[in-house]
Amino acid sequence: MSVEIVFVMVGTTHTGNLGAAARAMKTMGFSRLRLVDTCAHLSAEALARSSGANDVLQEAQRCDTLQEAVADCHIVVGTSARARQLSVPLRSCRSIAEELRELSGVGSPDQTVAMVFGQERSGLSNESLDLCTRLLRIPCNPDFSSLNLGSAVQVVAYELSQSLQSIPLGAPLPQPGKWKGSTAKDSPPVPSADPDELPATSEAMEHFFEHLDRVMINTGFLDPDNPRLLRRRLRRYFESHRPLGSELAIFRGILSSVENPRKR
């Protein structure tokens, strides 16, 4: 089956960096780009810096929020230059790439994965990191960890392509952005996966968090005027252990039974 990679740029302020990111993506065989609150992506500088990857920029999807950009994604990988309070553990881009390779193996269901990059100077906000199921850090010189956005995209795209592709050097790349596990000619076809047996999408998780928040407030467990770190702790837990669609349905059912209890 396949893993489809989507690159998401959040808050990019320099148009040339978008062109450099598009160039890095296409060089490694990726094409799906989504933009959240970024500068102009079709400027003369962006197109020039893309060095021929104009189609990646022209087909990029602009989104109003990061929630919208990752709504259909089963895995959301946020890039971070430093550890954040209450965040999930940081992992190297190679270990993340190796995990995704396992997900692209024979018999695995199709999954959409978002690779999220933040603003050049400040990176991703804590609120954006809250939407991520995994955090990625590029190992670099601890005394000088300044990495240009385009370079960061290049490193991550390279690690992903090397881990996901099972083709010899020089052979044509697969369909851009979609990487399939290798299969034997006589292998039986793999049936389509039940969506309920895939990790819940980000959109489904947001509905769950809204439901959970409502129940916690109505039962008095959460004081909305003084939530402290409760919401973030719960979000961190469920995102770092994202449930399957069928499991999420059970949690939603439990919350509904709290809202509308029935006597047996």
Query: In this model, does residue 117 exceed pLDDT 70?
Result: yes
- Would you give the DSSP letter of residue 22? H
Q: Coil, strand or helix: which one is 39?
A: coil
Q: Domains in the chain, please, with CATH? A: 2-180 (3.40.1280.10), 195-259 (1.10.8.590)
pLDDT at position 1, please? Answer: 55
Note whether 190 and 175 are within 8 A (CB). no
Among all chains, which residue has been given the structure tokens 């399957």? 244
Say what percent of the chain tops pLDDT 70: 83
pTM above 0.85, yes or no: no
- The most confident of the ranges 95-99, 141-145, 191-195 is 95-99
Give me the mean pLDDT over the 196-214 stretch.
92
Q: What is the CA radius of gyration of the chain?
A: 20
CA angle 125/62/235 to nearest 5° reads 35
Query: In this model, does residue 112 exceed pLDDT 60?
Result: yes
Mean pLDDT of the chain: 85
Which residues share a beta bridge with 34? 8, 61
Give me the mean pLDDT over the 189-214 stretch.
82
Query: Looking at per-residue confidence, does 256 or 86 come out higher?
Result: 256
Note whether 1 and 194 are within 8 A (CB). no
- Would you give the DSSP letter of residue 187? P
> Going along the chain, which residue ranges are E strands?
2-10, 33-36, 61-63, 75-79, 90-92, 111-117, 134-137, 178-180
pLDDT level of residue 2 (50, 70, 90 thresholds): confident
- Would you give the DSSP letter of residue 183? -
Which residues share a beta bridge with 136? 79, 91
Query: In this model, does residue 102 exceed pLDDT 90?
Result: no
Note whether 128 and 117 are within 8 A (CB). no
- The most confident of the ranges 33-37, 134-138, 166-170 is 33-37
Say what percent of the chain tops pLDDT 90: 59
CA distance 126 to 135: 12
